Structure formats: structure tokens, C-alpha cells
Amino acid sequence: VRPILRDRTECYECVTKPAQEKTYPGCTIRNTPSEHIHCTVWSLAECADVFCQSVTALSRRKSALTENSILHWDKDDEDAMRFVASSANIRATIFGIPPMAGNIIPAIATTNAIVAGLVVVEALKIISGDLDKLRAVFINQAPNPRGKILVDQVPFAPNPNCFVCSAKRECHIKMNPEQMTVKALQDKVLKGALNMAAPDVMEATTSRIIISSEEGETADLEAKTLSELSIANGAMLMCDDFQQKLELKVILHESKTLKGDEYEILQDSGEAKENVDESRKRKSMASPEVHDGETAAKRILLFNVPVVWEV
């Protein structure tokens, strides 16, 4: 759980994120079955037999472990899956719910409860005005040498080189104005790279609106290149994303070597983005968990204070 407050902590874009691998959530397995077991429904008697067998198998494995060792959950562990599936079906029967598929991947309710509790703790600090007590909290997969599962750290201050959370919200982008279209600028650069949701863009010199968040208002400009709109090297675009309360200046740098919708995001010095700010590349004390290849960022407005909870 990482509280993010504008002008006080680094933003979501500054946080180093692990490489994401495309996977499919197990909760959709009944909609897209790929194996016979995905379509199998056990009877109550079968659930009871499987439950007893799995408990026996897991108990035997636990007894073989060294002292203070524990069994770890793994969705690819057949004994663990049979235990969870049979337990879920037995419990469902108790409450009058029809049995579910035999091979299920359950939600980890305990982790969800811990994260929800941590979010509330940090939210209470914001409500009470104790912003100096805010902490980023991580859940370890196993206790650390000090025996702790939860590890916290003071949130990092805004990154002075970030165009989102720095006081100087300005971004330099290299592109080929003769080939970059307005549509590509909107979708690939502003929405794709700069993570804007619904940008409004005005050319600073002429005050002409070239991109509007109002549907259809600038549709006739989407196929035009920037050079056709007299936007060239050194042009300044004033970008405003009302949904995220983000105002950003984008300065264009011309490059004949870039083709089509290719672009590079630069810093003020002209260095490529990936080559700067090495000092801020660090590993957290405990990396946040990634489930199904995704991390979730939950954005809320708390007492008119923009807050992002990274979970």
C-alpha cells in the first residue's frame, strides 16, 4: 500500500514496476474451459472424500517439514487445490449454494483484508492531518530476519525530474512533425506514454485547440500531421487533463530520423528519459505483490485531497 499525494510524495509514474506477464485470472476458468476437469462438478459425497484425502496428504507433508517450517500455498499444488475446492463446495452446500466447478482458483481473501486494513490506516492519517506519519507498507511473502511480515518506509518526496509530480510540469518530446499525426500524438504519446485520460491540447503561440476531450470537436484534425498545422521544432503545447487535474507543457523537438508515430521522451537537458535519474532507481524493502500479472492502482478523492493507493 503506497499513499500518493500531489506535491508531497512521488507519483505513481515514478514508482519502479516489475515486468508484467500476460496471464488470465482463474476466476474465469468456467467461461473459458481448456481441460476436462474445468467442466466437472463434484457431488457432496465426492467433496467429502476429496476433503479427507487432501487433509491427510497435507498433514503428512507438514509432518515431514522441519520445526517452524510451514506449507506454502501454490495454485499448481494438487493437494492444496483439492483441499480448497472441496472445502468451498462443502461450505457452499451448507449455505444452500449449488456446487461449483471441481478445479477452482480461489481469491486470497486474507491478503485482501490485510491490504484493505492498511489502506484504512493510512487514510485515517490523512483525515486527521498526520501527513508526516504516512508510510508505504509492503507485505513480505515470508518473515524477514526481524520476523516481520509487514515492512514500512517513508514515502519518497516528489521527483524533481518527473513531469507529473515536480513543481515544473514540463516534458520535452522528440518526434518528426512531418509524419506524426494528431491522432498518434493523442493516443500514443499523451494517453499511452504520459498516461493522460482525456487531454485537451492547445498550441501556445496561436491558442489553437488541436485536441479536445469533447468527442468529435477536433475529429477533422486527427488525420493531419503536426507540420500541416504549422507545429514544428520548438513548438509548445499546453496540455490539460481535467479528469486528473494535470496541466503539462509539452515542448516538441524535431528529428528527421524518427519515422511515423515514433517518438522519444527527453528531459530538459535533452537526455533520453531512460538515461536520467539513475539515483532514484532502487529496490523497495519489499516488492508489492503482483497477482495475475497486474498491479492495481485505486484512485480516490479524500476530503478534496487527490490520493492514489497503489495496491
Catalytic residue positions?
27
Listed as own residue / partner, the contacts of 52-56 with beta carbons closer than 8 Å and 24 or more positions apart are 53/82, 54/79, 54/80, 54/82, 54/83, 54/86, 55/83
Q: Cα separation of 248 and 277, whole Å?
A: 20
C-alpha cell at 115: 491490504
Greatest alpha-carbon pair distance for the chain in Å reads 77
- The gap from C-alpha 214 to its chain's centroid, in whole angstroms, comes to 27
Classify strands 246-254 and 170-175 as parallel, antiparallel or unpaired: parallel
Listed as own residue / partner, the contacts of 105-109 with beta carbons closer than 8 Å and 24 or more positions apart are 105/25, 105/26, 105/27, 105/29, 105/75, 105/81, 107/27, 108/73, 108/291
